[in-house]
Structure 1
Amino acid sequence: MDPATLIGLGLAAIVIITANILEGGSPASLLMLPPMLLVFGGTFFVTVAGGTITDTKNAIRAVKHAFTSRAASAADVVPVVVSLADRARKEGLLALESSLKEIEDPFLVKGVTMAVDGTDPEELRDILESEVYAKRAADKQSAKFFTDAGGYAPTIGIVGTVMSLVHVLENLSKPDELGHMIAAAFLATLWGVLSANAIWLPIASKLKRLSELEASRMEVVIEGVAAIQAGSNPRIIAQKLRSLLPTEQQEPEAA
């Protein structure tokens, strides 16, 4: 589990609450049901309206992914691929079949299985690359759901403020209540801007980043499987796969 999202949003909430208290405010005064219902409910449902039910279901599932998932490093798969390449070079591709149950990466298992089954190299690459493309598209749509929510929330907050100000103008004959009513009116704008920048957009960014990391790992797997199928030298495979990694993950090969 990567705690970055939980830590980031949690600390952001603490900073916001602390700043409110230091200014003499009360966090409880910000928790009013009508503006929060309008902003969160309105934002969610107009975002749903901009896509399909399937998009919404996938986005809801993606929330758990954003908070609890840890994208496996592409560097972790390199020694596994090199080990498979070494065995394939010594014993042949068919010998890898018994190694599949020890591999935890389902995408690598799929690629090696297809290679063992004698799939044409070009077809194998096309199939695996198509799967990466499909994953990127699905991840992009889930992230877009929250990006859209981040765009709608501030505007819906303004709508809520205008609605409340209309109510204020209807009660000008009650000057003792105007201060409280005006303050409450601006809570909708506050929650709209706050939810966009402290909830929706960070979740969208996290999903995009996870997608990038997962797709990068899959691309390393594709190159590794292709090299194994071609019978390349394991040492050369290791060097090639490491060259695909981010600089900070390009550890020198052990002697």
Structure 2
Amino acid sequence: MDILSVVGILLAIGALLGGSVLKGAGLSSLWSAAAFVIVIVGTTASIFIHTPPQVFKRALRIVRWTVQPPVADREALVAQLLEWSNVARRQGLLGLEGHVAEQSDPFLKKGLQMLVDGLEPEAIRHMLEIELEGEEHKDLAAAKVFEGMGIYAPTLGIVGAVFGLIAVMKNLADPSKLGHGIAAAFTATIYGIASANLFFLPIAAKLKSVIGRRSGEREMIIEGLIAIAQGENPRNIEAKLAGFLH
């Protein structure tokens, strides 16, 4: 679990609630059904129009990476690749056939199977790089869903504020309603700016970071498998992969 993300989410909520109380606005001022409909429902509608269904579904699947990113032990992965290298040197590439079924990672399993099948190193690299680029492209497109929400929300917050001010202008003859009306108008602005800068944009940035790290791990797997296919010495493979550990 990403503790920083969890703490950040709690601090974001605490900052909004605590700030409202400390400023004397009170917690009740943060709730407005009209602001919620205009900003949150409106942002959701915008992103539905903006995003293809399959991309939106993928975004919902990977949003959990914000607090629970995929865990990969790079040192253990390097050790595994070195073990396969030793097996290949002693028994040949067919000696790795028994390890294919043991792999839970589809990318690693696919690469190892191509190694066992005796494909040329460049063919393995080409196919795995296509797989990596496709996977990375889909994940980045999903991350941009939250980036898009972070763009639309503040603008819709302004729309909500304008609607609120229009309502205030209609009640200029009744001064008792002006203060409450203006306060309600700016609640929509809070919804838009706060949701974008405390949640949507940080989530997008965190997902991009996780995706970049996963791509780095995939690149390490490709380099390791290619080195095994080329029959390189395990020590040379270890030295080559050491750079990915940092």
Shorter chain as normaliser: what TM range? over 0.9
Match of 2:213 in 1: 213
Match of 2:162 in 1: 162
Asked if structure 2 preserves the Cα contact closer than 8 Å seen for 1:150 and 1:196, the reply is yes
Matched, 1:32 2:57: no
1:94 partner letter: L
Match of 1:195 in 2: 195
Number of corresponding residues: 246
Identify the range of structure 1 (88-97 vs 72-81) with the bigger mean alpha-carbon deviation. 72-81
Query: What pairs up with 1:124-163 in 2 under 5 angstroms?
Result: 124-163=124-163
Identify the range of structure 1 (90-99 vs 3-12) with the bigger mean alpha-carbon deviation. 3-12
CA RMSD for the aligned pairs? Answer: 1.5
Q: Which runs of 5+ in 2 are unaligned?
A: none
1:101 partner letter: A
Please give the TM-score of this superposition, normalised by the length of structure 1.
0.91
Per-residue CA deviation, residues 104-159 of structure 1 (Å, 9 max, x unaligned), is 43322211111101112211110000011001111111111111111111010000
Matched, 1:118 2:118: yes
Match of 1:100 in 2: 100
Partner of 1:119: helix, strand, or coil? coil
Match of 1:56 in 2: 56
Asked if structure 1 preserves the Cα contact closer than 8 Å seen for 2:120 and 2:229, the reply is no
Identify the range of structure 1 (31-40 vs 104-113) with the bigger mean alpha-carbon deviation. 104-113
Partner of 2:118: helix, strand, or coil? coil
Please give the TM-score of this superposition, normalised by the length of structure 2.
0.94
Distance 2:76 2:174 in 1: 68
Partner of 1:180: helix, strand, or coil? helix
Cα deviation for residue 73 of structure 1 reads 4.2
Q: Percent identity?
A: 39
Distance 2:193 2:4 in 1: 22
Matched, 1:235 2:238: no
Matched, 1:177 2:177: yes
1:181 partner letter: G
Distance 1:4 1:78 in 2: 27
Q: Which runs of 5+ in 1 are unaligned?
A: 247-255
Match of 1:91 in 2: 91
Distance 1:201 1:92 in 2: 49
Per-residue CA deviation, residues 209-250 of structure 1 (Å, 9 max, x unaligned), is 11001110000000000011111111111110012332xxxx
Distance 2:98 2:55 in 1: 39
Partner of 1:68: helix, strand, or coil? coil
Distance 2:4 2:112 in 1: 33
